[in-house]
Chain A
Amino acid sequence: MPATAAPQNTSRSSGPGSGPVLTWEKRLEPSRLMAVVVPVISVILALAVGAIFLSATGFQPLKVYQSMLNGAVGSKYGISETIVKAIPLMLAGLGVSVAFRMLLWNIGAEGQFYMGAFGASWVALTFPHLPAYIMLPAMFLAGGLMGALWGLLPALPRAKWGVNEVITTLMLNYVAILWVDYLVYGPWKDPRGFNFPLTAPFSDAASLPTIAGTRVHVGLIFALVAAVLLAIILWRTRWGYEIRIIGESARAARYAGMNIERNIILVMLLSGALAGLAGMSEVAGITHRLQHGISPGYGYTAIIIAWLAKLHPATIILVSLLFGGLIVGGYSVQTSGVPAATVSMLQGAILFFVLGGEILTRYRLHFGRKEGK
């Protein structure tokens, strides 16, 4: 439908006459100002909602937020932890965003993350004597491939028969988590691990190099390179052009002769591979072993990040840092009894406000009297 802001169009919903009215008026162009203002205000409003729940349950919201901020960016350690948590969010967020651009609702980043971690761990545990220059590329490949495979499984029925990918990707999350649990509670369990659900530690060759004596590892470089590559794909290649057109109008894309089915499969492979790399970089960079609960919901947070960043690669990097800080801040207040779920509640609330505020970028609220024509 064409975007028209003609006043006579709005008169229907506001009724005849010349009294004061309040109507939505469609903007000709999405507002750039609102695209920045809405997310910022959304974060503030979500914190306000969180404050209500916190004070209702006997906490002092300002103190909680202050110590969260302190925990996330108040020290060198805090900042490096924030970046550490942001790395998987960046990679998974980029993966989610490319699928969302095609209106392909891949909410399986969590499972793809787990399978990527599994693939990388398989390499590290099966060939422990490989030198680092073979080990790390092999883990990288295995992680990306397993993630891509986990993205392909729901892509095939979607491309062939239109099977709803929201549900299939989500169901595969549960399967992937149970699969990793089977391994770490069963055949891969470290015999010297005091019965904890984790594998034996990887050899030193399987560790990603870290940066400047912190826990920040080169997964950060993967994420930054991935963001640049994704931007190039989206705006400089024919494939990216097709992805964007299909997302805007599948019908137009079909008339233009684009192969939508093939793009569904390719995009889900890419999307899954990026989330798989997030899993790989987490086991190779941080845990150095596969373990139960290796992701505290990165794949779901990635969805919020992708939407908040309007699916834009560079913005995803920035928003991931914000959410990394939120996670680290959340950990730092858990010791004072604040429930761990506070963070996911805040994340959900941020997304609510962003979604509700998006109408302001597409429409303008029109006050005052109707100009008769």
Chain B
Amino acid sequence: MENSVWIAILAAAITAGTPILFAALGEIITERAGVLNLGVEGMMLVGAVTGFMVAVKTASPWLGFLAALVAAGAMAAIFAVLTITLRANQVVTGLALTIFGTGLSGFLGKPYVGIPLPVSFKPVALPLLSQIPFIGPVFFRHDPLVYLSYILVPVLWYYFYRTRPGLNLRAVGENPAAADALGVNVFALRYIYVIIGGMLAGAGGAFLSLAYAPSWLENMTAGRGWIAVALVIFAVWDPVKALLGSYLFGGVDALTYSLQAATRIAIPSFFLKMLPYILTIIVLIVATRQTIVKHIGAPGALSIPYDREER
């Protein structure tokens, strides 16, 4: 294939992978704190719809983006109250969050189906960087949210592994009783990180409705939230690996799309659309086997509610 085709596919992979990346980074933060939030899909949808609604009303994608963060953060806060304070089952509460978020976003978004967005996020070519051959057009001619996700990855990595609060975060997820004994406020930290994780899921949703496909469609996330949850395991809770995984899925997404356009046959498109889901299952199986072989794995206290009386 020609160089320009590769550039187009790789750049499309990054765009398609960015919503998954935001959501996966959010879930990494949440799970690092020892909380398994399976409501990513629901939070993304609520983020996508509120972001779109506010952007339509204010004609500002940035205000829409902020609204998405707030709305998805609020969803995560509900989850936090239920699972951290009321010690509800995290798996079922996460499912409830997804079901509720799907319903709520469909409810709120009904009048907005088919409405065009007045101003969406537009690609900005970064000066100098975008001029680098090959790398420039692949990485540095995207919209601002993509650049935000670039920055987020190293920042999170540094926070987790090189700062004191990051150490506390990991301690809360690995051994909350020990963290508690050292004076770390387990409950407060879990609340904070669950809410931040939700906000990032909302960012992923807003990217979909404000930049990737500027519009609102019911269920427009189409399972990306679940793919993000699977990616966290593939990435062994590491932001850098989450970036690679997200772009892998983005690549499959982009490739599916261009294959569909190229072959112009209607029927196999159903099989092409299955690819990301089947790939998720395969990746998950491979990743799970690797975590067993290498003895690396989930945060020790993942999905276990912390109860001071039971330590």
Contacts and interface: CB of A to CB of B under 8 A. Distances in A.
B267 A186 contact: yes
Contacts of B223: 170-171, 174
Interface stretch (A157-165, A204-212, A252-260, A277-285): A157-165
Given A53-B107, A341-B103, A170 B226 contact: yes
A13 B308 contact: yes
Contacts of A13: 308-309
Contact of B106 (A170, A179, A339): A339
Contacts of B88: 355-356, 358-359
A186 B265 CA distance: 11
A122 interface: no
A161 B102 contact: no
A233 to B, nearest CB: 23
Interface string B273-311: 110011011001100110010000000000000001110
A344 B89 CA distance: 20
Nearest to B270: A182
Interface string B218-249: 10001100100110010000000000000000
B81 interface: yes
B82 A356 contact: yes
A344 B103 contact: yes
Nearest to A6: B309
Nearest to A304: B99
Contacts of A359: 86-88
A161 B309 contact: no
A12 interface: yes
A98 interface: no
Given A175-B274, A178-B274, A304-B99, A166 B38 contact: yes
A26 interface: yes
Interface string A336-373: 00011111111111011001101100000000000000
A317 B277 CA distance: 33
Interface residues of B, number: 51
A9 interface: yes
A9 B222 CA distance: 47
A349 B288 contact: no
Interface in B139-176: none
A300 interface: yes
Contacts of A9: 309
B270 A179 contact: yes
B99 A355 contact: no
Contacts of A222: none
B308 A105 contact: no
A210 B277 CA distance: 38
A100 B82 CA distance: 19
Interface centre among B81, B107, B270, B273, by most chain A C-beta atoms within 10 angstroms, is B107
A26 B309 contact: yes
B114 to A, nearest CB: 14
Contact of A351 (B38, B96, B308): B96
Interface string A41-84: 00000000000010001000000000000000000000000000
Given A157-B285, A179-B270, A185-B267, A348 B110 contact: no
B101 interface: yes
Contacts of A349: 100
B291 to A, nearest CB: 9
A168 B279 CA distance: 10
A345 B277 contact: no
B78 interface: yes
Contact of B230 (A167, A182, A303): A167
A175 B285 contact: no
Contacts of B89: 355
B107 A182 contact: no
A331 interface: no
Nearest to A349: B100
Contacts of B42: 348
B277 A174 contact: yes
Contact of A172 (B273, B281, B292): B281
B179 to A, nearest CB: 16
B44 to A, nearest CB: 14
A355 B96 contact: yes
Interface string B83-95: 0001111011101
A158 to B, nearest CB: 9
B66 interface: no
B86 A355 contact: yes
Contacts of B87: 359
A171 B310 contact: no
B218 A1 contact: no
A341 B102 contact: yes
A355 B82 contact: yes
Contacts of B292: 161-162
A345 B100 contact: yes
Contact of B99 (A154, A175, A185, A347): A347
A181 interface: yes
A175 B82 CA distance: 32
Contacts of A182: 267, 270-271
B78 A352 contact: yes
Contacts of A12: 308-309
A348 B277 contact: no
A352 B105 CA distance: 16
Contacts of A94: none
Nearest to B81: A356
Interface of B: 38, 42, 78, 81-82, 86-89, 91-93, 95-97, 99-108, 110, 218, 222-223, 226, 229-230, 233, 266-267, 270-271, 273-274, 277-278, 280-281, 284-285, 288-289, 292, 308-310
10 contacts: A1-B310, A166-B91, A174-B222, A174-B274, A182-B267, A185-B267, A186-B270, A300-B99, A303-B99, A351-B96
Given A12-B309, A343-B103, A355-B86, 11 more contacts: A13-B309, A53-B108, A154-B281, A174-B274, A178-B271, A181-B270, A341-B105, A344-B99, A344-B102, A348-B96, A355-B96
Top 9 closest A-B pairs, CB basis? A348-B100, A341-B106, A345-B103, A344-B103, A182-B270, A351-B96, A355-B88, A348-B99, A339-B110
